[in-house]
Amino acid sequence: MGINKEYRFNFKEYASLGDLSSEYQVLVSEALDAQKSSYSPYSNFAVGASVLLANGEIVQGSNQENGAFPSGMCAERVALFYAGSKYPGVAVKAIAITASFKGVGPLEPISPCGACRQVMLETRNIGNTPMEVIMVGERRIYVIDDVTLMLPFSFFKVDEAIKG
């Protein structure tokens, strides 16, 4: 007989962009700006992401689709991989995620896909510091204290899983 367990976490909900700290307002603004470079002719779903690094730099990314699906890349991974390439070893403090469909923003916050969550988690672990996740919608904004909360059963290094 198994033991029944439960997983829960708390997150912050904000009514508008103006309720966020000025630092996060800038980060969301950068994510919205990043949407402009989205290449999404197939889905018409433009996603922008911006990451705030521990050194104060902000790096943008947008989704890049490809006719040879699934050869495209999500905005979150574009931003995180670019940050890792340009600023190796610099921790990511926060990531903001915005989106629009045919130019109209979603009413509810957009959540990152599982692949992006895994990359976010590994990036967080490389930096060894919590990474806040800011998901933006027209009606509300969610801020999660650490990406680890969004992926409790994440894939991790096999050598760590087999320690005996």
Order the strands of the 12-14 sheet from edge to edge: 12-14, 141-144, 132-136, 92-101, 45-53, 58-62
Residue 108 is a catalytic residue: no
Place of tokens 């650490």: 146
CA-to-CA distance for 100 and 48, rounded, in angstroms? 9
CA-to-CA distance for 81 and 116, rounded, in angstroms? 11
Q: List the catalytic residue out of 30, 65, 76, 132.
A: 76
Residues designated as active site: 76
